[in-house]
Amino acid sequence: MGAVTSSMAAKFAFFPPNPPSYGVVVEESTGKLKLTEVAAKENVDILKLPTKKGTEIVAVYIRNPAAMLTVLYSHGNAADLGQMYELFIELSHLLRVNLMGYDYSGYGRSTGKPSEQNTYADIEAAYRCLEETYGVKEEDVILYGQSVGSGPTLDLASRLSRLRAVVLHSPILSGLRVMYAVKRTYWFDIYKNIDKIPLVECPVLIIHGTADDVVDCSHGKQLFELSKQKYEPLWVKTGNHCDLELFPEYIIHLKKFISAIEKSTSFRNVSALCMNQIDKPRSSTDCRPRLSTDQREKSRLSTEKRELRTSTDQRDKSRASIDRKEKSSKSVDLSDKANDNTEQPEKARKSIDRFGNMMRSAVLCNIDCFKPVGANV
């Protein structure tokens, strides 16, 4: 039955880029694998991982020397590692995490054909590599699933009791529910996230655009309600399915989440922290409409200044005064900046600007993913 389901789903649910955006070659000098069409980085490993389904998937592992946590990222539809590579590099840098991304079977240079069951085997192979090759512990892993990637992400998360956290980016309730407002789960449906998320024991952050015309924002909101350990969600006003990374609040909220998870010393502390985040008044940066270019520049600068808890007047004061403020501050964002040798507002703003500019040239997913011909979402 599962094979029939996957066969039916593969006809409309998977859109691997054709041709792939990259190649995989062996460096003669080192004998290591490298991706073509992207810039080689010393802190990036290229891997080929066997899966229990008999396929071989391509993965990238990005090391960050300041990392406490590791993100396992399952990307969206109609994308591959070549297109996601620069985003992964930037996320690892800005969030100060190690990051592994992988291509599903049949995507990029991974062998085999795309199917629901194959994606479950794919993420298991990537997770096993983190444990066996890099010595990553389950409690130090954050699973990140974007769009169709929310399927394998929640499937694995529902089976890991000590997982640190989950991020769901434009997630789906199930494949069928993207197309039709069904009230029950059918055997032929795929990625039954609505049934799996209540089994996830760790904190869950959900990010969804309110103007998503592929996967309605109601999917994210219902998954939020069904989560056991809720973290303050991010509903991006006017955000669509494939552009959330372009909004400044996206990276700001993610950084806040990662910092909170890092600072939690136990699972219970994380749970209490999550509920406190939800009880607090919503920040204006969590849900604001798109602004003009000038307004966005001012808004980003203002937001980053608030994160650093410093102003032009404060910078003009004596160094001793600033040191006292830095030592006494308990804000998550200030701690992040202090660890980065006290980044200045202009530097932080430019970092987010570079992130947005980079994302404008990236192809993240097919806007028609999950949408068969003639169907209305």
Which tens digits make up the pLDDT trace of 189-227? 999 999 999 999 999 999 999 999 999 999 999 999 999
Q: Where residue 264 falls among pLDDT bands split at 50, 70, 90?
A: confident
Query: Under DSSP, is residue 339 helix (H, G, I), strand (E, B) or coil?
Result: helix
The answer on pLDDT for 152 being more than 70 is yes
333 catalytic, yes or no? no
The answer on pLDDT for 246 being more than 80 is yes
Catalytic site residue from 241, 259, 264, 333? 241
241 catalytic, yes or no? yes
pLDDT of 233: 98
pLDDT of 7: 56
The answer on pLDDT for 363 being more than 80 is no
Rounded mean pLDDT, 309-315: 42
Q: Where residue 117 falls among pLDDT bands split at 50, 70, 90?
A: very high
pLDDT of 181: 85
List Cα–Cα distances, 243 to 17, 98, 210, 304, 322, in angstroms. Answer: 18, 23, 12, 21, 38
pLDDT of 25: 97
The answer on pLDDT for 284 being more than 60 is no
pLDDT of 292: 38
323 catalytic, yes or no? no
pLDDT of 369: 46
Q: Which residue has the higher pLDDT, 300 or 189?
A: 189
Going by C-alpha positions, the residue among 46, 59, 144 that lies closest to residue 105 is 59
3-state secondary structure 242-269: CCHHHCHHHHHHHHHHHHHHHHCCCHHH
Rounded mean pLDDT, 318-323: 43
pLDDT of 11: 56
Q: Where residue 24 falls among pLDDT bands split at 50, 70, 90?
A: very high
Q: Residue 256 and residue 260: Cα distance in Å, rounded? A: 6
Q: Where residue 270 falls among pLDDT bands split at 50, 70, 90?
A: low
The answer on pLDDT for 297 being more than 90 is no
Please state which of the ranges 51-55, 278-282, 371-375 shows the lowest mean pLDDT.
371-375
Q: Residue 258 and residue 250: Cα distance in Å, rounded? A: 12
pLDDT of 12: 56
Q: Where residue 13 falls among pLDDT bands split at 50, 70, 90?
A: confident
The rounded mean pLDDT for the chain is 79
Q: How many C-beta atoms surround the C-beta of residue 78 within 10 A?
A: 22
pLDDT of 183: 86
The answer on pLDDT for 362 being more than 70 is no
pLDDT of 356: 55
pLDDT in tens, 327-348: 444 443 434 444 444 444 444 4
pLDDT of 232: 97
Catalytic site residue from 21, 110, 115, 147? 147
Q: What is the DSSP string of 61-88?
A: EE--TT-S-EEEEE--TT--HHHHHHHH
Please state which of the ranges 18-32, 129-143, 268-282 shows the lowest mean pLDDT.
268-282
The answer on pLDDT for 306 being more than 70 is no
pLDDT of 346: 46
pLDDT of 180: 87
Query: For strand 33-35 and strand 24-26, is the pairing parallel, antiparallel, or unpaired?
Result: antiparallel
Q: Residue 361 and residue 368: Cα distance in Å, rounded? A: 19
pLDDT in tens, 285-294: 333 333 333 4
pLDDT of 344: 43
